[in-house]
Each structure stands twice: as structure tokens, then as C-alpha cells.
Amino acid sequence: MAGMEKNLDREEMLALIGGAVKGDGFRRATFAGATRGYSCEWVRVVIRPVELRGDRHFQFAYQGAKKAVTKNFSPDELDAPLDELVGYGFAGVHITTNGEELDVRTSRKGRVHVGRHKPKSPTELSEPEAHNRVKDVPLPEGRADALLEVMGVSTPDGRVKPTMRAKFTQINEFLKQLRHVFGDAKLADLGRELRILDCGCGSSYLTLAAHHYLNDVLGVPARILGVDVNEEVIRKSVERAERLGASNLEFECRRIGTADVPADIVIALHACDTATDDAIAQAVRSGARLFLGVPCCHHDLNKVISATGPAEVLRPVLRHGIMAQRAADLVTDAFRALALRITGYRTDVVEFVSTEHTARNLMIRAVRGASAAHAGEAEHVAEYIELKRFWRVTPYIEKVLGEPFQQLVRASTL
């Protein structure tokens, strides 16, 4: 290891450290140790290169005794925070680049020892670490986002609050599902503003996220109407929208299924019991190209399914309340998926988020497209009729879809 000891003034120290950090091969810098001659709330600061939206930035992670702060700076903004760090007078600075390890140690008497040696692992990646390289998320962590800040999910500098980590994950997982089927639904081909109806919008976290992601991130003009029967959550949603200055975003206090508006996308996230069926019916009546639903509690079929007739073989399952409830949940959603297929939607059921974030993690995803011409296909109708026969029930989805759906079922059996 090569080293030298000398007196360095602040400008020389800044030139030494700044030259290493600004170099193309920079990988990491750590500032730690007792500070000299300056009151500092930080005990450790780590700098690393990151990539934000394809551009190189520098992330400063400040760690104090009672708090931690992360800030990102572009190369043009780097001088001021670097100068501030050098001014704190940390006793030890360690910098890793592709070509060398640089140690800068300051003694109590102000003598500076500069040590240089080859990096321990020269084969490591030399490119900046991209935030999206590890997790490709629509709204990434680590950069300021007015939406996430207004919703109380993140701090002004882009740090996700620990208590809102599950909500942050839920928002991004929902947007990933929307992104996944956006092209299949040919929503970008409409040549006009998208019309979206959010049924049972609740606190409107996902309503606001969808509006922000489509309009501000993807640049797709979209108008959203959120409806809910709870006046208080609608009031709060209106306040959030006003704070964001969001246009084409409205909220109304009304029951799902009573909003007689055309919609290209219908969303129903955690709508309770048969409200999910009402939202599906709204999507079918509107001819919506996309339906995204995450059912919540199920009560309707849970009250009527029993171990009788063909289902008697399932008596060991239905004997136990929790197992009977889960069976009713699955049967309810199977009816919903089949009904959507019968009405001309390409439908699948996927995991929305991990169960560690929410127990209600099943999403019904339906895209209306070429299959709409094959509405009422005999195969799907036969499955639907057999499922009804086995359980000896008429699901609510059939009732709310009404006569047009019942005609499709009858026509395929003639």
C-alpha cells in the first residue's frame, strides 16, 4: 500500500475527494469518524452512483444518531454537498473506484494520511447502480414524487416511510398490473382521452396513482372518476386531488353501479362482497376494454353453499368454518371469471401482492378484445352451468348482469 502524510487545506482536500467521486470509475465513498472543528449531526455518510431515468446521479445517505436522510444529486449539483461534507471534517474517508481504494485519515493534530491500493474486487461492476435495476417499479423509491408525498407515503426527498412500506408496494404492484395489460387492451390506440371509473375508490391511493402514472409518467391523457358510498373518504380524496392540482380527476359519493358513465377501464379494488359484481356489470355495460378487480370480503355464496348433492364429497372441507369461507371465496371468483369470459373478455386470475402486504391478494384481470366476438362460447357456458349444478346456487354475478347475460347462457345451450 502506498501512502503519504501531509497537511492539506480544505481546498486541497476537496480537490482530492471530489476528483475521485466525480471520476468515471467511482463506486462508493464513506465518510465516518469523529468530526474536527465542526458541529455535525451525522455519524456516517455514504455516497454511491445511481441511475435515475437513464441519467447518472449521486446518492448521499446521511446516518445520524436519531434519523437517516437520503438525497440524490445530479453531477451539476454535486459541488455543494461535497463541499459541505469536507467541511464537516470527518476523521476517515474511504473511496472505492475501479482503479484504486483511497483512504484519507485525519489525525487529531490535523495531519492527513492518504493511502492508495488496488481494489479488492476489480471485477465488480463499474456502472452506476440503477434504482430500477433491482426492482423495475413504475414509481421508484429514492426520488422526490409529489404524489407519494401528498399521500403520506414518502418524505419530500423520496424516502418511503416505514409505516407506509406496504402501501408503497401495493401501489407499484397495481401499476405494474395496469402496465402489463395496457397494450393488450389497445388503450393507446383510442386516439382520445382515456375514461376510467374507479368503483369503491376508498381513500383513493390507487386512483391517484393511476391518474399520476398515466398522465404524468406515461404521458397518456386520462380522466378518472372515483366513486364510493363513504362521504368522508370522498372528501379526503377531493382534498388530495386539489393539493396535487390534478385535472380530469373527480370523485362522487354514490353506490357502485349507479354511475351511468362510459368507461374504457373499470377498477374495483377491495370492493366489499357483491360490490365487485356490481363493478363487473358496470364494465360489461360500458364495453370497457379493461377490468381490474381485487375482491374483498365474500358473503353472498358463503351463506348458501353446503355439502349437499354433488358437493357432499366436500363435507370434510365445508365442515370447518374457515375452510368453508375460503372455498366460497374461490367459487365466487371462479363464477366471476367465467361470467367475464362468457361476455367476451380474455380473463385470468393472478396474485396481486404478497400476502405479507394484504390477505386479499387475488386480482381478476380481464381484457376485452377479439374474444368479444366470441361472447357466449359454449365451452365457457358449459363450465358455468356445471359449476352452478355442482354447488346448487345462482351467483349474484348472474343476477346483476341480468337478461343480456342470461340470454347468452340460454343461446349456447340450444
Q: How far apart are CA 331 and CA 329, in angstroms?
A: 6
Amino acid 389 reads: R
Q: How far apart are CA 187 and CA 200, in angstroms?
A: 23
128 and 212 co-located in one domain: no
Residue numbers in the chain where pLDDT is lower than 50: 1, 121-134, 357
pTM of structure: 0.67
The answer as to whether 141 is a domain residue is no
Please tell me the predicted confidence (pLDDT) of residue 288: 95
User: Which grid coordinates are listed for 360?
Assistant: 386479499
Please tell me the predicted confidence (pLDDT) of residue 403: 93
227 and 319 co-located in one domain: yes
The answer as to whether 140 is a domain residue is no
82 and 209 co-located in one domain: no
Q: What is the CATH number of the domain that holds 224?
A: 3.40.50.150
User: Which grid coordinates are listed for 391?
Assistant: 354447488
293 and 337 co-located in one domain: yes
The answer as to whether 174 is a domain residue is yes
Please tell me the predicted confidence (pLDDT) of residue 127: 43
Percentages helix, strand, coil for the chain, rounded to the nearest 5? 40, 25, 35
203 and 72 co-located in one domain: no
110 and 226 co-located in one domain: no
Q: How far apart are CA 314 and CA 310, in angstroms?
A: 9
Please tell me the predicted confidence (pLDDT) of residue 374: 56
Please tell me the predicted confidence (pLDDT) of residue 360: 67
Number of domain units in the chain: 2
The answer as to whether 138 is a domain residue is no
Length of the chain: 414
Residue 143 has phi, psi (to 5 degrees) of -135, 150
Burial of 397 per CB tally in 10 Å (0-12, 13-18, 19+): buried
Please tell me the predicted confidence (pLDDT) of residue 1: 42
Please spell the DSSP secondary structure of 320-368, one letter per residue: SHHHHHHHHHHHHHHHHHHHHHHTTEEEEEEE-S-TTT-S--EEEEEEE
The model's pLDDT over 286-318, given as tens digits with 9 standing for 90+, comes to 999 999 999 988 889 988 999 999 999 999 999
The answer as to whether 75 is a domain residue is yes
Q: H or E segment at 294?
A: strand 290-294
125 and 196 co-located in one domain: no
The model's pLDDT over 58-98, given as tens digits with 9 standing for 90+, comes to 988 887 766 677 788 899 999 999 998 888 888 888 898 98
Please tell me the predicted confidence (pLDDT) of residue 135: 56
Q: Which of 132, 164, 185 is the last residue of a domain?
A: 132
193 and 313 co-located in one domain: yes
Planar angle of CA 272, 139, 232, nearest 5 degrees:
35
Q: Give SS3 for 102.
A: strand
387 and 246 co-located in one domain: yes
Q: How far apart are CA 194 and CA 218, in angstroms?
A: 13
Please tell me the predicted confidence (pLDDT) of residue 46: 86
Q: Which of 132, 164, 184 is the last residue of a domain?
A: 132
Domain with 35 in it: 2-132
Q: Are 64 and 165 in contact (CB under 8 A)?
A: no
Q: Give SS3 for 389.
A: helix
Which of these, 323, 321, 322, 306, lies nearest to 393 by C-alpha position?
306
Q: Which of 89, 110, 132 is the last residue of a domain?
A: 132
The answer as to whether 139 is a domain residue is no
8-state DSSP, 156: T
Which of these, 318, 305, 320, lies nearest to 392 by C-alpha position?
305
Residues 6 or more apart whose Cβ sits within 8 Å of residue 73: 57, 58, 60, 81
Amino acid 2 reads: A
89 and 224 co-located in one domain: no
Q: Are 13 and 21 in contact (CB under 8 A)?
A: no
125 and 156 co-located in one domain: no
344 and 264 co-located in one domain: yes
Cα dihedral across residues 160, 166, 168, 169: positive or negative: positive
